[in-house]
């Protein structure tokens, strides 16, 4: 079920509501952004202050090239994580990303949220969705495998990050693969 918003449609699942990320979500998301372990494989190090978190969330919420959703639980509008998409080639190929507060790890929330996002992206006409992960990010690998993504490439020494120069694993999912996987469940 979907309710259209100004830029980002609201997506709902049995347990979750994914709504447009707002700058005022920063306070709720600060524990996640400040968590050194949760941000280990992300593009930015953990924030040190609420002001840094507010700046990052405001940038993500306003980014013209990314669509960003706050993950909330049905009946509770408090953000517990985020999912985002970036259209690399109009109407064809989209990159996704996701981030979840530690208190909600291990409950299938990211898998459920990303599945809702995939439904939306493929309904919009995308032919391919991909994710770029750190090879050591085993939690993200499990999510992508669960959703049917295929490892497509390892780009050696691809990123210079806050933890050093890192490889990237590229994971891809095609619309027919997603459709077939959804019919099996």
**DSSP structure string for 50-114:** HHHHHHHHHHHHH-SS-EEEEEEETTEEEEEEEEEEEEEETTTEEEEEEEE-GGGTTSSHHHHHH
Quick one: pLDDT at residue 1? 47
Decide: 80 and 71 in contact? Cβ < 8 Å: yes
Quick one: pLDDT at residue 2? 45
Q: Which of 139, 119, 120, 137 is nearest to 181 (CA)?
A: 119
Three-state SS at 29: helix
Quick one: pLDDT at residue 179? 93
Please state, in angstroms and rounded to a whole number, the distance separating the CA atoms of residues 109 and 101: 10
Quick one: pLDDT at residue 44? 86
Quick one: pLDDT at residue 113? 98
Quick one: pLDDT at residue 7? 75
Quick one: pLDDT at residue 185? 57
Please state, in angstroms and rounded to a whole number, the distance separating the CA atoms of residues 179 and 120: 12
pLDDT, tens digit only, all 185 positions of the chain:
444 444 799 999 999 999 999 999 999 999 999 999 999 998 889 999 999 999 999 999 988 888 999 999 999 999 999 999 998 877 799 999 999 999 999 999 999 999 999 999 999 999 999 999 999 999 999 999 999 999 999 999 998 888 899 999 999 999 999 999 887 65
Decide: 29 and 44 in contact? Cβ < 8 Å: no
């Amino acid at each position: 079920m979907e309710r259209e918003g100004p830029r980002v449609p609201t997506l709902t699942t049995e347990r979750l509501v994914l709504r447009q990320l707002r700058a005022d979500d920063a306070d709720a998301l600060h524990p996640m952004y400040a968590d050194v372990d949760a941000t280990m494989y992300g593009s930015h190090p953990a924030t040190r202050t609420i002001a840094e978190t507010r700046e990052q969330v405001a940038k993500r919420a306003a980014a013209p090239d990314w669509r960003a959703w706050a993950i909330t639980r049905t009946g509770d509008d408090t953000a517990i994580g985020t999912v985002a998409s970036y259209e690399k080639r109009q109407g064809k190929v989209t990159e996704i990303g996701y981030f979840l507060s530690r208190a909600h790890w291990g409950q299938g929330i990211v898998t459920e949220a990303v599945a809702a996002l995939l439904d939306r992206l493929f309904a919009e006409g995308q032919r391919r969705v991909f994710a770029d992960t750190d090879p050591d990010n085993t939690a993200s690998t499990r999510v992508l495998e669960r959703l049917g993504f295929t490892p497509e490439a390892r780009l050696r020494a691809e990123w210079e990050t806050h933890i050093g120069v890192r490889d990237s694993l590229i994971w891809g999912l095609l619309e027919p693969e997603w459709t077939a996987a959804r019919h099996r469940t």
